[in-house]
Amino acid sequence: MAKQLHPVVKLAKEAVESYVRCGKVLRPKELSDETRSRAGVFVSIKKRGELRGCIGTFAPTRANIAYEIVANAISSATQDPRFVPVEASELDELEYSVDVLTEPEPVDSVAQLDPKKYGVIVECGFRRGLLLPDLEGVDSVEEQIEICRAKAGIAADEPIRLYRFQVKRYR
């Protein structure tokens, strides 16, 4: 029996399938309370437990969360530079998760961070790296910051500003 998907996850899945199969960008029809407001959204795609794509926005760029999910789901499937674009033959094997982010808040010290509870944004000038919270294999704040620095091309000796945020994760 197929697992019942949360409507937010179902939207991400349908957006990817519509785009990969037909080249069409899904237009969300009904907005739920969860998708009516605006927020940053990350869509992660896995295949057989391995990451297949993950792209998102840490601040809202679209009219609402539903449109943010559609755009980021398509980008995750087709634009993640770490992977080749998803093909139609893979669609049945993919699993999706959607993270809706709270507004990032500046932190003064690493003591205010917790890798299970908070995602992190590391910033130096115009360069920014973001890591979602509660990721498998990331168990310390230091690891979070190191990964963020690497993503943004920020050297270990460069000064940084730190921000934290929480997510509501849908699977």
Fold agreement between 7-101 and 105-170:
no
Long-range contacts of 17-22 (CB under 8 A, 24+ apart): 17/91, 19/74, 19/77, 19/78, 20/77, 20/78, 20/85, 20/86, 20/87, 20/88, 20/91, 21/88, 21/91
- Domain spans, the chain: 7-101, 105-170
Q: pLDDT grade, residue 109 (50/70/90)?
A: very high
Superfamily in which the 7-101 domain is placed by CATH? Hypothetical protein ph0010; domain 1 (3.30.700.20)
Tell me if residue 144 falls in helix, strand or coil. Answer: helix
Distance CA 147, CA 122 (A): 9
What pLDDT does residue 126 have? 96
Average pLDDT score over residue span 128-152: 96
Q: What DSSP string describes 72-101?
A: HHHHHHHT-TTSPPP-GGGGGGEEEEEEEE
What strand order describes the sheet that includes 105-107?
Answer: 105-107, 161-165, 119-124, 127-131
pLDDT (tens digit per residue) in 21-67: 999 999 998 898 889 999 999 999 999 999 999 999 999 999 999 99
The CATH fold of domain 105-170: Dna Ligase; domain 1 (3.30.1490)
Percent of the chain with pLDDT over 90: 94
CB 85 within 8 A of CB 47: no
